[in-house]
Amino acid sequence: MEIYGYNLSPETISNITDRVIEKATEWQNRHLEEARTAYIIISIDMDRGGREFKILAKYL
């Protein structure tokens, strides 16, 4: 298999995966610090004729 100009065998790809999978799993399961959640509310306001509209975004 050629990736970015390098020829890699399936065995090489498996070896690389085996070396990083443990660290990747640790990272996925790490404890996250408490974070603030942001909510984005988007509304579209149109007049009855459909000639004008406004897009409003609110961040809470």
**pLDDT value at residue 41:** 76
> Which domain does 19 fall in, by range?
2-59
User: Phi, psi at residue 33, to the nearest 5°?
Assistant: -70, 155
Question: Does the pLDDT of residue 59 top 70, yes or no?
Answer: no
| Integer Cα distance of 46 and 55 in angstroms | 9
| Total count of domains within the chain | 1
| Confidence at 56, pLDDT banded by 50, 70, 90 | low
Does residue 1 or residue 33 have the better pLDDT? Answer: 33
**pLDDT value at residue 60:** 57
For the stretch 4-55, pLDDT in tens is 777 888 888 888 888 888 888 988 888 877 777 777 777 776 666 666 667 6
Question: What angle (nearest 5°) sits at the alpha carbon of residue 44, between those of residues 49 and 38?
Answer: 175
